[in-house]
Structure 1
Amino acid sequence: MNKLLNLFETKFTLFSLLFLTGMLRFASFYTSPDAKADAEPTYNPFDSISSLIQQFVYLTSLFFLIARGKTSVRVALRDPLVWTLPILTMLSFLWSDFPDISLRKGITTLQTTYFGLYVASRFTIKQQLQMLGWVLGITAVFSFFFTLAFPGVAIEAGANAGSWRGPFTQKNLLARLMVLGAIVFLLLALDRPKSPKLLWGGFGICVLMVILTGSKTALLLLFTIIILLPFYKLLRAKDTIIIPAIVGLIIIGSSVITFVTENWLTILAALGRDATLSGRTTLWEVALEKISERFWLGYGYQSFWLDGGGAMIIWKIEGYKPPHAHNGFINMALDLGVIGLFLFLTILLVNYIRSIIWLRIGKTVTDLWPIFYITFFFMYNHSENTIIEHNSIFWSLLVTVSLSMRRVKLVKRQITAPELLNSQPPINSG
């Protein structure tokens, strides 16, 4: 019975993670390949199926959490702070311009969060990485052949003509999944040096897909991750301020390069005589003005970018309807105000520090996963909105990573992660 239950839970989690990638919506069939075409949304029959899958995923994971009540509560309390954001999203209907939508999507965000709790309470970090390898490997291979089979819908037109988007609505959605897949396969391959051919193959297909999307942000972030690998390893070996300082410079430098690369036409315009600017800088400028109007609590979760919402003036200036601010931090402030942004940055900083402690306690390559994921999550939000989304694998994984790291204090004696599972003094765990 236990073997059958374990098999079911593993398959269920694999399927659920695949669902949270958004691939199963086949959205590119029903979305214009030109992001600025401003075409009316087309009815997607797969959304009805996705809704049923969503209910199955969240009800099943809730059932397992309740069935293992004590374990679930203990794991949930490893990082109480991570629960503040989904609760705030749910409560934001109280001041939202579209209270019904904010409440409904806030509830789904809370469900996405407790799915992350389920994964953290049921599987080890190594098991999580292995499952992510399967999920993102399937996503990469399927997206490759899907694009070859349906180039008319899977390859973008307009400003991004020739960029692969696969079954997703936009190239950057595929690109960030492929960067995540490259990180996962890189860590898995380094963790199994004796038989890594298939894993290096997974890394290769993810890198190829990143290149085919034409996303400069994705390439720069992937390059940054590879550069950071030896320095993060040194964090384990050397207790010195030099290594964290170098890591900080690399992250800041890469963030600046990413910003300049993504917005170089706008920057050139700003340096010349075009006082009106264009592109994302204009969008961000107007968005910041809108933030100042509702500084503390924002416009309500997922309500700003709706027809009739605060984004109408931005759409008028831009000449098309961007679905978000192309910056996760600005988008967070629009949704949940400066309070929400402060909570998010605090969550990220606290977990980055915890991931360093976790890295120094562990001995395996897979113990690098938390610090790499938090780095990925932080850096991608400079140009995309990857912070807190309902039905999003990215937010769910941040919760999983946060709750998978036990509360520990660094001690002089280095111990391995397996030893940590049997936590004995002098380690304090919670």
Structure 2
Amino acid sequence: MMMAAFIILPLNMPMMQPVRAPFTLLLLAYLAFIGRPLLAAAWRHRWVYILPALAAASAIWADSASAALRHGILMTVMVTVALAAAIRLDIRQLAIAVLFSQGALALGSLMSMETMWVGGAHGAEAVVGLFPAKNVLGKRMLLVVLAAVAVMVGAGYRPVFKPIALGLSGIALFLIVQSLSASSIILLALAVPLGVGLAVVWRPATAIRGARPVIVSGVFLLLALGATFAIIGLRIDPLADLLGLFGKDATLTGRTVLWEAARQVIADHPLLGVGAGNFWAADNDQALILAKQFYKPDHQFSFHNAYFEIAVHLGAVGVLVFLGVFLRGVWTIGQTWWRTQGRADVFPVILGAVIAIRTLTEAEMFDALLLAPLLFWAVVLLSEEERGRAAATH
């Protein structure tokens, strides 16, 4: 059920619409079937419903009350699905569900190799596969790689899954490059060494007294020396050069245009925002101008920053609420891993790190039914559940 949910619910494309509605009803029926334990878990973790509740409450001051209420309800459904995953799966089952569900989409995208022209007159052909946009493909394939790394380096997975993970990660890597998704490439370069390092180097070091401080110091020293050599010795800017390969401007000119537009809206609605789901509306001329400027006339756009997105829709109050629940989630993942680091799976850590960084360049954490926020809250809630079970046994 969760594997199907990861494929269907967050996938916003026309070919899935005939399946999406009946499956949503089936999923709601499943949630009702596990209603008693789900309600008990919802009460234990009621703090994760604060942001969805605020989004729904913004119907009171929004121009379109129905849009705000719909956004809040869908966010509530997303968090509830994450909670259901947390009480029915363990972290390894969750990683396997992600690997196989997104791996199936990777295979489909590889077979289709559908392309789209991106970047206007000076753009290029990018592979989008089964997805509506190149960045969506890049983000989904990044999830395949993260899950594959967890399976390949983790203990407790069936041996048969490891070569499958290797094959699917190879396909995903190929598609990420072909999608010209610079952000996914950069995050990949950060997340894969982090996952492998935690499993191959850090985990064995937990059994050796004094080894971990030496490792941390060594990593920082190598990074500092490498950066100094690259920037001063070779006179290169690694970030600018990497972005240049994909036709990107290292100054993030496109995003700064969006962020400046967001600042103007925030100045007019500083405290409570315009209401959830109310800016990117079909009848909002300012939103339509921005979408067309960035060649996004056919599907919903965003400010490419979670904090600006939330500030526009829910104001300063929304940003404070989001920071509170999001930082608690990150802290939960980190604390749970630290307590069990000798045997902990790396999937929650690398997923949490990727999503935390991506809040600066993507608005997905305020979206209603995207896979990344669903998985983030699933690993957070699963970490809290595991910590609660561990405390109960002592």
Q: Classify the TM-score, shorter chain.
A: 0.7 to 0.9
Q: Specify the code of the residue in structure 2 equivalent to 1:225.
A: A
- Contact 1:119/1:400 (CA < 8 Å) preserved in 2? yes
Measured against aligned partners, the alpha-carbon deviations of 1:298-339 in whole angstroms (never above 9, x if no partner) come to: 111111111333734853994755711122221121122222
SS at match of 1:162: strand
Q: TM-score, normalised by structure 2?
A: 0.80
Describe the shift of the 1:386–1:317 C-alpha distance in structure 2 as closer, same or farther (beyond 3 A): closer
Q: 2:34 corresponds to which residue?
A: 65
- Contact 1:75/1:403 (CA < 8 Å) preserved in 2? no
- Contact 2:8/2:19 (CA < 8 Å) preserved in 1? no
Within 5 Å, give how 1:163-182 maps onto structure 2: 163-182=126-145
Structure 1 CA distance for aligned equivalents of residues 241 and 361 of structure 2: 7
Q: TM-score, normalised by structure 1?
A: 0.74
Describe the shift of the 1:396–1:381 C-alpha distance in structure 2 as closer, same or farther (beyond 3 A): same
Within 5 Å, give how 1:334-413 maps onto structure 2: 334-362=312-340, 367-406=345-384
Structure 2 CA distance for aligned equivalents of residues 20 and 385 of structure 1: 18
Describe the shift of the 1:240–1:73 C-alpha distance in structure 2 as closer, same or farther (beyond 3 A): farther
Q: Specify the code of the residue in structure 2 equivalent to 1:102.
A: A
Between 75-84 and 327-336, report the one with greater CA deviation: 75-84
Question: What is the CA-CA distance between 1:261 and the residue it aligns to?
Answer: 3.6
Q: 1:37 corresponds to which residue?
A: none
Structure 2 CA distance for aligned equivalents of residues 82 and 319 of structure 1: 33
Q: 1:5 corresponds to which residue?
A: none
Structure 2 CA distance for aligned equivalents of residues 63 and 206 of structure 1: 35
Q: 2:89 corresponds to which residue?
A: 123
Structure 1 CA distance for aligned equivalents of residues 315 and 241 of structure 2: 23
Between 79-88 and 309-318, report the one with greater CA deviation: 309-318
Q: 2:307 corresponds to which residue?
A: 329
Q: Specify the code of the residue in structure 2 equivalent to 1:187.
A: A
**Does 2:163 align with 1:202?**
no
Task: State the superposition RMSD in angstroms.
Answer: 3.5
Structure 1 CA distance for aligned equivalents of residues 20 and 174 of structure 2: 28
Describe the shift of the 1:384–1:370 C-alpha distance in structure 2 as closer, same or farther (beyond 3 A): same
Q: 2:278 corresponds to which residue?
A: 303
SS at match of 1:307: coil
Q: 1:51 corresponds to which residue?
A: 21
Candidates 34, 43, 56, aligned match of 1:90 = 56
Describe the shift of the 1:259–1:127 C-alpha distance in structure 2 as closer, same or farther (beyond 3 A): farther
- Contact 1:297/1:335 (CA < 8 Å) preserved in 2? yes
**Does 2:130 align with 1:155?**
no
Q: 2:249 corresponds to which residue?
A: 265
SS at match of 1:156: strand
Measured against aligned partners, the alpha-carbon deviations of 1:113-164 in whole angstroms (never above 9, x if no partner) come to: 11111111111111111111110110111111122xxx4xx43355343211
Describe the shift of the 1:226–1:204 C-alpha distance in structure 2 as closer, same or farther (beyond 3 A): same
Question: What is the CA-CA distance between 1:365 and the residue it aligns to?
Answer: 6.4
Structure 1 CA distance for aligned equivalents of residues 72 and 85 of structure 2: 20
Q: 1:18 corresponds to which residue?
A: 7
Question: What is the CA-CA distance between 1:56 and the residue it aligns to?
Answer: 2.4
SS at match of 1:367: coil
Candidates 183, 189, 198, aligned match of 1:217 = 183
Q: Specify the code of the residue in structure 2 equivalent to 1:173.
A: V
Describe the shift of the 1:401–1:53 C-alpha distance in structure 2 as closer, same or farther (beyond 3 A): same
SS at match of 1:405: helix
Question: What is the CA-CA distance between 1:245 and the residue it aligns to?
Answer: 12
- Contact 2:149/2:196 (CA < 8 Å) preserved in 1? no
Structure 2 CA distance for aligned equivalents of residues 133 and 46 of structure 1: 20
Describe the shift of the 1:240–1:351 C-alpha distance in structure 2 as closer, same or farther (beyond 3 A): farther
Structure 1 CA distance for aligned equivalents of residues 15 and 108 of structure 2: 20
Structure 2 CA distance for aligned equivalents of residues 305 and 316 of structure 1: 9
SS at match of 1:52: helix
Unaligned runs of 5+ in 1: 1-11, 28-43, 269-277, 410-416, 426-430
Q: Specify the code of the residue in structure 1 equivalent to 2:147.
A: V
Q: Specify the code of the residue in structure 2 equivalent to 1:294.
A: H
- Contact 1:220/1:258 (CA < 8 Å) preserved in 2? no
- Contact 2:55/2:68 (CA < 8 Å) preserved in 1? yes
Question: What is the CA-CA distance between 1:423 and the residue it aligns to?
Answer: 4.0
- Contact 1:76/1:403 (CA < 8 Å) preserved in 2? no
SS at match of 1:163: strand
Measured against aligned partners, the alpha-carbon deviations of 1:239-298 in whole angstroms (never above 9, x if no partner) come to: 769949979x98xx9xx9499948963739xxxxxxxxx522122112112112211221
Q: Specify the code of the residue in structure 1 equivalent to 2:6.
A: L
Question: What is the CA-CA distance between 1:182 and the residue it aligns to?
Answer: 0.3
Describe the shift of the 1:372–1:64 C-alpha distance in structure 2 as closer, same or farther (beyond 3 A): farther
Candidates 233, 249, 266, aligned match of 1:291 = 266
SS at match of 1:267: coil
Aligned residues: 363
Describe the shift of the 1:231–1:97 C-alpha distance in structure 2 as closer, same or farther (beyond 3 A): farther
SS at match of 1:279: helix
Q: Specify the code of the residue in structure 1 equivalent to 2:349.
A: I
Between 215-224 and 77-86, report the one with greater CA deviation: 77-86
Describe the shift of the 1:190–1:239 C-alpha distance in structure 2 as closer, same or farther (beyond 3 A): closer
Question: What is the CA-CA distance between 1:77 and the residue it aligns to?
Answer: 4.5
Question: What is the CA-CA distance between 1:73 and the residue it aligns to?
Answer: 3.9
Q: Specify the code of the residue in structure 2 equivalent to 1:424.
A: T
Structure 1 CA distance for aligned equivalents of residues 243 and 286 of structure 2: 25
Candidates 126, 136, 139, aligned match of 2:105 = 139
Structure 2 CA distance for aligned equivalents of residues 332 and 365 of structure 1: 37
Q: Specify the code of the residue in structure 1 equivalent to 2:346.
A: L
Question: What is the CA-CA distance between 1:85 and the residue it aligns to?
Answer: 1.0
